[in-house]
């Protein structure tokens, strides 16, 4: 080998080693087993958007420069150090572990080169999610900004690029305060509210595309007509999409459609998706202009139908999957990690909670006031897990909580800005997740947090997606609207309010606390809903609660959500410890009880 080439390789290795040496998890809190598998040079390497997958892409996760500055300060000339993207600055796995305030911004910066074989292509930069406001710069030029901490966004950066090395920088701001969706994040973690998350917390990547390319795909199954409605979006209105649906390697339906128009593709004798048989069709989508192919992506789809059906008894209604009665039984899944906070350390970790939920005999998950990366939903699609999807809660305005009975009095008005922010972000969340077949229920409000114009928001949510159920207010202020009534009752699950025109559920119950030494976020101040129990007591009590729910089915209960999948910070009411190292119940006994409930209508 030429000596100059050897010298360059040694220099590159030394630079990489220096970067690696700068990173280590921050703090001394408990960690998952996957924390040790995090490689700063290969962070979350899986393609991040399974519903619209391209073969060429460049992962920008890894060590970036960072600096904490005053809110509107420009890119600094020097930085505070290195941060591991995409872990939030507050997390251990970021390597920083700092809290930032609402009067500060967080700057990120890194260099990149465009691969040689991308020449002649447009280049897109994609962000999975940045909390809450992101301003993006390439080579010092601002290319765009985005608000909303839970949805993906992209920019075409082609005209800002130069030969050789390029600079990418991002200024992120997040108040973690009132008036923006933040779920359980808090600047002052306590009780059921947890450590804040700021800045980039999902994968960042580049893709080469033609100027005429696919910008989005919307997939809606229609079991009644045994067909799929599929819309392929492009900024070029003259483009034509060709869509193929495949069962294995066999094409079972195909169609052509103008870009931004919906094509209907009938499938003869379709195979249905369910938790017992989560069948996924493959999709091949190509885009053409003037007869020439300009783009192609791979995707998937599932034929399934969520609905409600009158059962005649007491005038009540059933929750149905594929026109059959279905009891949706879920744990409350908050998606927090002791080492990564909002971001799972690895894709294996991301899958773990879902797989173990199914192993324990549940058929559903309630994703609680958080939105996950697209790969999380793809895992649910593949494994056959039904998802209740919450809107991350807003705070600071809205109604006082009236947890029992229908809401009395007039709802308080909220400011125009509060409502506009809610509507913008909820609509974007629903649009970004629409094509995932696992999602059954949209929940705009939880326990009155930021709740306003409940009837109007429920109707608007339904108008955005008539193919799914709407749970207007999980455990919140109840109104005669939407499809679901959802009581929260931690002691003994009870439907203390019943509406015979809705699907009646217990959206939170249980919360049995059990503190396991050596696996705690803090040594004291841990709590659950009630007296802390030993593991054998948790198993016994959990099974008793499940048996109670089985009895409640004959009185019209069609869904339940146990709190919760894992401990979170000082809450020790998880089935698993926060670090996922200990299952606190007898798996065989719990699975048997859960399957009895999940399979009650089979």
What three-state secondary structure class fits 417?
A: helix
Mean per-residue pLDDT of the chain? 94
CA–CA gap between residue 545 and residue 560 (Å, rounded): 11
Q: What is the mean pLDDT of residues 398-416?
A: 91
Q: Structure pTM? A: 0.95
Task: Answer whether residue 9 shows pLDDT above 50.
Answer: no
Whether pLDDT at 13 is above 60: no
pLDDT at residue 3, rounded to an integer: 45
Whether the CB-CB separation of 512 and 536 falls below 8 Å is answered with: no
Q: What is the pLDDT of residues 190-209, one digit of tens each?
A: 999 999 999 999 999 999 99
Give me the mean pLDDT over the 323-329 stretch.
Answer: 96
Structure tokens at 261: 């128009």
| Contact status, residue 56 vs residue 213, Cβ threshold 8 Å | no
Q: What is the pLDDT of residues 91-134, one digit of tens each?
A: 999 999 999 999 999 999 999 999 999 999 999 999 999 999 99
Could you give the CA distance from residue 602 to residue 598 in angstroms, rounded to a whole number?
9
Query: What number is the average pLDDT over the span 129-150?
Result: 98
pLDDT on residue 479: 94
C-beta contacts of 484-490 below 8 A and 24+ residues apart: 484/441, 484/559, 486/443, 486/559, 488/403, 488/447, 490/529, 490/530, 490/563
Bridging pattern class, strands 503-510 and 473-474: unpaired
Three-state DSSP class for residue 143: strand
What pLDDT score was predicted for residue 312?
A: 63
Closest CA to 127 of 92, 162, 100, 154: 154
Residues 6+ apart with CB under 8 A from 364: 275, 328, 329, 330, 385, 386, 387, 388, 440, 559
Statement: residue 590 has pLDDT above 80: yes
Q: Tell me what the mean pLDDT of segment 152-171 comes to.
A: 97
pLDDT digits (tens, 9 = 90+) for 468-488: 999 999 998 999 999 999 999
Q: How confident is the model at residue 235 (pLDDT cuts 50, 70, 90)?
A: very high
> 297-317 burial, b for 16+ CB within 10 Å, e for fewer?
bbbbbbbbbbbbeeeeeeebb
- pLDDT confidence of residue 10: 43
Q: Are 50 and 375 in contact (CB under 8 A)?
A: yes
Residue 538: its H or E element? helix 535-552
What is the pLDDT confidence band of residue 65, given thresholds at 50, 70 and 90? very high
CA 577/CA 451 separation, integer angstroms = 32
Q: pLDDT confidence of 22, banded at 50, 70, 90?
A: confident
Q: What is the mean pLDDT of residues 254-277?
A: 98
Q: What is the pLDDT of residues 524-556, one digit of tens each?
A: 899 999 899 999 999 999 999 999 999 999 888
Q: How much is the average pLDDT of 242-259?
A: 97
């Amino acid at each position: 080998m030429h000596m100059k080439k050897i010298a360059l390789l040694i220099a590159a290795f030394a630079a990489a080693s220096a970067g690696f040496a700068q990173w280590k998890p921050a703090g001394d809190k408990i960690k998952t087993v996957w924390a040790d598998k995090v490689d700063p040079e290969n962070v979350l390497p899986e393609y991040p958007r399974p519903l619209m997958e391209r073969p060429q892409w460049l992962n920008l996760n890894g060590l970036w420069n960072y600096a904490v500055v005053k809110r509107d300060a420009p890119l600094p000339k020097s930085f505070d150090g290195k941060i591991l993207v995409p872990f939030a600055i507050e997390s251990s796995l970021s390597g920083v572990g700092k809290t930032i305030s609402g009067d500060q911004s967080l700057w990120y910066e890194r260099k990149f080169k465009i691969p040689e074989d991308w020449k002649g292509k447009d280049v897109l930069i994609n962000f999975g999610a940045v909390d809450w406001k992101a301003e993006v710069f390439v080579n010092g030029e601002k290319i765009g900004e985005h608000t909303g901490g839970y949805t993906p966004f992209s920019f075409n950066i082609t005209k800002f690029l130069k030969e050789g090395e390029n600079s990418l920088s991002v200024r992120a701001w997040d108040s973690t305060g009132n008036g923006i969706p933040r779920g359980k994040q808090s600047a002052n973690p306590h009780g059921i509210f947890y450590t804040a998350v700021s800045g980039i917390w999902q994968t960042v990547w580049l893709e080469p595309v033609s100027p005429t390319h696919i910008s989005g795909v919307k997939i809606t199954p229609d079991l009644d007509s045994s067909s799929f409605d599929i819309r392929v979006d492009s900024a070029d209105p003259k483009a034509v999409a060709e869509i193929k649906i495949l069962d294995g390697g066999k094409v079972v339906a195909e169609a052509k459609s103008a870009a931004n128009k919906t094509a209907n593709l009938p499938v003869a004798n379709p195979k249905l998706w369910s938790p017992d048989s989560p069948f996924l069709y493959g999709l091949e989508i190509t885009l053409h202009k003037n007869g020439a192919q300009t783009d192609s992506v791979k995707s998937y789809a599932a034929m399934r139908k969520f609905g409600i059906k009158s059962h005649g008894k007491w005038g009540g209604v059933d929750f149905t999957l594929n026109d059959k009665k279905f009891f949706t039984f879920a744990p409350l899944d908050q998606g927090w990690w002791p080492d990564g906070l909002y971001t799972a350390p690895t894709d294996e970790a991301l899958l773990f909670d879902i797989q173990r939920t199914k192993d324990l005999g549940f058929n559903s998950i309630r994703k609680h006031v958080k939105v996950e990366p697209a790969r999380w939903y793809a895992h649910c699609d593949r494994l056959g897990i039904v998802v209740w999807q919450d809107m991350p809660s807003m705070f600071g305005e809205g109604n006082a909580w009236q947890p029992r009975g229908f809401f009395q009095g007039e709802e308080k008005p909220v400011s125009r800005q509060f409502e506009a922010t809610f509507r913008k972000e909820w609509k974007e969340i629903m649009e970004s997740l629409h094509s995932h077949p696992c999602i059954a229920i949209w929940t705009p409000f939880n326990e009155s947090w930021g709740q306003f114009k409940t009837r109007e928001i429920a109707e608007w949510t339904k108008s955005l997606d008539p193919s799914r159920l709407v749970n207007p207010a999980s455990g919140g202020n109840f109104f005669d609207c939407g499809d679901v009534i959802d009581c929260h009752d931690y002691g003994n699950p009870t439907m203390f309010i019943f509406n015979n025109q809705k699907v009646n559920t217990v959206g939170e119950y249980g919360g049995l606390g059990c503190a396991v030494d050596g696996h705690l976020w803090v040594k004291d101040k841990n709590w659950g809903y009630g007296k802390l129990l030993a593991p054998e007591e948790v198993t016994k009590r959990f099974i008793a609660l499940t048996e109670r729910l089985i009895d409640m089915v004959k009185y019209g209960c069609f869904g339940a959500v146990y709190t919760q999948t894992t401990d979170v910070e000082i809450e020790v009411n998880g089935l698993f410890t926060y670090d996922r190292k200990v299952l606190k119940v007898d798996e065989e006994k719990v699975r048997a009880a859960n399957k009895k409930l999940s399979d009650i209508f089979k």
